[in-house]
């Protein structure tokens, strides 16, 4: 059998230092890998088992590129809030200081702004004392911001503070920025490792099975949907309308609908729908109210954008600004049933900030700890231009350039078919 085709992260050079974890742990990474694909259809065109591609398994390495006692670590959090940010910061800090004994850990405030001198955001030194209890709170102690910054200015700041390893906690825009920093330090021939911890509450990072904070977000929807159901049932033809996160991927809305079986309609960006017409959403909602006198509707924020006349440009992160589908549905439902001379009572819930600013639940907190620890293991071994994430239930090193299109729901998948079955909504609510 030929040698396995393992997709590896970039490395700064030959690791020559012994890991201080010797004696603390039972085993080191020994060359294991995880198959990129796991279904028979993905192997249909392969001629041999030797053609299977693998991702490098995450874990502590026996030899390190950096001498820990000389290392300065930098941490930055970017983009929107997400449950677990403080958990990751804490894990990075504790693993760097306690497990590896690095010289110091610096937290750069307000995202990439904190790495640009003109903003005067001085870094704070993170210790095991001032990060000891931060996982008990939501948000990020390092604060955040959106938008790209000048890469050369960022690298100048890293040099100024003697940063050897930079951990970037953020979504696709953040990791694009990390990739640019990698290219910049390569041009200057600087031995600085850049390792990302992918963050998106929408769970839409390609090749990553689950992003931290997603499970907490789904759990947080339980009471909200239950309350929407109670409101709907308390009034004649009551409609509990819940607007959830999900810009281009409806994972939270769909998962919340499965977790709480009170949902009757789940609307996501991946499945277009019409409002009016014989097979439009409003007609099906009317039928539901005639039969049951109440309904619960869950909509992802990016659903139904085709129903608006104008686009709203992009935000600082380069993501398109969204029209408010929740308010549109509320107004359209009220107008439709008024025209039908049929009473309807819409109760509107938009809990987005309440969800994303909460602290992580136990399972997400555990996941954040593993992500943080394995990011440190990778960086100390000289790995760079990569993120750590879950793939087929294993933590892997994923090269940043491989992170491409967003992970979206396949309308033909069993996952979405289960949503349709659970809600009893039509498979299609479009007239064409």
Rg value, the chain, Cα: 24
Q: Say which residue the tokens 């030959």 belong to.
A: 14
Q: Which residues contact 293 (CB under 8 A, 6 or more apart)?
A: 236, 237, 238
Beta strands in 233-285 (DSSP E): 238-244, 265-267
Strand partners, 220: none
Element (H, E) at 288: helix 281-292
Residues 74 and 161: beta-carbon distance below 8 Å: yes
What is the CA angle 332-335-339, rounded to 5?
Answer: 135
DSSP H helical segments within 48-101, as ranges?
Answer: 85-94
202 is catalytic: yes
Q: Which residue among the candidates 202, 204, 274, 364 is catalytic per the annotation? A: 202
Distances (CA, A) of 130 to 93, 107, 126, 159, 412: 10, 11, 6, 25, 48
Residues 352 and 244: beta-carbon distance below 8 Å: yes
Assign 3-class secondary structure to 241-270.
EEEECCCCCCHHHHHHHHHCCCCCEEECCC
Torsion sign, CA atoms 71, 13, 149, 138: negative
Active site residues: 202
């Amino acid at each position: 059998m030929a040698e396995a085709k393992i997709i590896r992260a970039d490395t700064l050079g030959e690791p020559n230092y012994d890991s201080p974890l010797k004696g603390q742990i039972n085993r080191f990474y020994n060359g294991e890998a995880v198959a990129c694909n796991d279904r028979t259809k993905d192997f249909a065109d392969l001629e041999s088992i030797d053609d299977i591609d693998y991702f490098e398994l995450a874990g502590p390495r026996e030899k390190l590129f950096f001498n820990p006692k000389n290392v300065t670590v930098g941490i930055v959090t970017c983009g929107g809030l997400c449950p677990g940010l403080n958990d990751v910061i804490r894990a990075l800090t504790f693993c760097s200081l306690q497990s590896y004994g690095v010289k110091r850990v610096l937290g750069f405030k307000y995202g990439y702004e904190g790495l640009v001198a003109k903003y005067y955001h001085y870094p704070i030194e993170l210790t095991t004392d001032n990060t000891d209890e931060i996982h008990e709170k939501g948000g990020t102690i390092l604060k955040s911001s959106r938008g790209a910054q000048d890469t050369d200015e960022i690298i100048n700041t890293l040099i100024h503070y003697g940063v050897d390893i930079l951990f970037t906690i953020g979504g696709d825009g953040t990791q694009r920025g990390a990739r640019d920093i990698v290219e910049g330090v390569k041009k200057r021939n600087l031995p600085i490792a850049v390792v990302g911890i992918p963050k998106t509450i929408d769970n839409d990072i390609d090749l990553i099975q689950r992003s931290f904070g997603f499970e907490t977000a789904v759990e947080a929807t339980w009471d909200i949907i239950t309350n929407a159901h109670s409101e709907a049932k308390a009034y004649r033809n009551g409609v509990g309308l819940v607007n959830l996160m999900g810009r281009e991927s409806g994972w939270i809305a769909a998962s919340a609908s499965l977790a709480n079986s009170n949902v009757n309609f789940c609307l996501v960006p991946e499945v277009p729908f019409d409002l009016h017409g014989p097979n439009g959403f409003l007609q099906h909602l009317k039928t539901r109210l005639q039969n049951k006198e109440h309904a619960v509707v869950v909509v992802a924020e990016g659903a139904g954008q085709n129903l608006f006349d104008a686009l709203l440009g992009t935000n600082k992160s380069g993501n398109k600004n969204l029209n408010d589908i929740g308010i549109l549905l509320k107004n359209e439902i009220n107008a439709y049933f008024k025209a039908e001379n049929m009473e309807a009572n819409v109760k509107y819930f938009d809990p987005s900030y309440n969800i994303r600013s909460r602290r992580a639940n136990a399972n997400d907190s555990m996941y954040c700890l593993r992500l943080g620890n394995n990011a440190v293991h990778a960086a100390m071994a000289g790995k760079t231009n990569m993120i750590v994430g879950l793939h087929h239930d294993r933590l892997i090193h994923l090269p940043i350039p491989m992170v491409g299109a967003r992970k979206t729901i396949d309308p033909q998948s069993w996952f979405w078919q289960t949503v349709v079955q659970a809600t009893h909504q039509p498979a299609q609510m479009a007239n064409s």
